Amino acid sequence: MNISELYKGRPTKDDSLHREDKEIRTYDMLDRLGIVYERLDHDEAMSIDVSHEIDEKLDAVISKNLFLCNNKKTDFYLVVLPGHKRIVTKEVSKKVNSSRLSFAKPEYMEEYLDITPGSVSIMGLMNDKEKKVHLLMDKEIYDSEYIGCHPCINTSSLRIKTKDILDIFLKETGHEPMVIEV
């Protein structure tokens, strides 16, 4: 895998010309909120298995992010957990008092988070203006010093203090995390 050096902050102006709008909007929001972040650019990361090299260079565990919905497709959940954990949707359904959860279709992911499969990230909550998506954070991620995530695309990864995600970013987006143990 091709991985860049670790950069502080957003891409340079020239480099920004080759970036998707949703990625640039992520940097704009983080900068506006005064959130410090470090960034790696890399080949497309389509699975958590590919993320191990990125984790090592980023010095943070890239979170695994799953986008789920209930049977009626009326409640949507972004589940953020460490990559080494496996999720049993039946157990998570009980924890959130919902009908059986399953993976949501990509169309919903794009509609509510402006994200495509492989790029799911807590950063997508900035696009959920109507608060349709509930955030479920595994306790291990919630208690970690840093969170590793994509800036709404899967060719870059960010390292951000979890405290800044919780105290600044989520307050700005209006999302309250529900902490669960997977």
Q: What is the pLDDT of residues 116-136, one digit of tens each?
A: 998 999 999 999 999 999 999
Q: Can you read off the two tokens belonging to residue 106?
A: 């990509």
Please give the helix or strand (H or E) that residue 165 lies within, else none.
none
Give alpha helix (H) positions in the chain: 13-16, 21-32, 51-58, 89-95, 106-113, 139-142, 162-164, 170-173
pLDDT per position as a tens digit, 43-87: 877 665 666 778 778 888 778 899 999 999 999 999 999 988 989
The answer to whether residues 91 and 135 touch, using CB atoms and an 8 Å cutoff, is no
The answer to whether residues 109 and 120 touch, using CB atoms and an 8 Å cutoff, is yes
pLDDT of residue 10: 94
d(CA 61, CA 119): 16
d(CA 107, CA 104): 8
Positive or negative, the CA dihedral 26, 31, 36, 41 is: positive
The answer to whether residues 31 and 23 touch, using CB atoms and an 8 Å cutoff, is no
CB atoms under 10 Å from CB of 46, counted, come to 12
- Report the pLDDT averaged over residues 140-166: 95
Positive or negative, the CA dihedral 133, 139, 145, 146 is: negative
d(CA 84, CA 57): 17
Q: Can you read off the two tokens belonging to residue 95?
A: 């924890």
pLDDT of residue 72: 93
d(CA 78, CA 102): 12
To the nearest 5 percent, what fractions of the chain are helix, strand and coil? 35, 25, 40
Q: What is the pTM of this model?
A: 0.92
- Report the pLDDT averaged over residues 90-108: 93
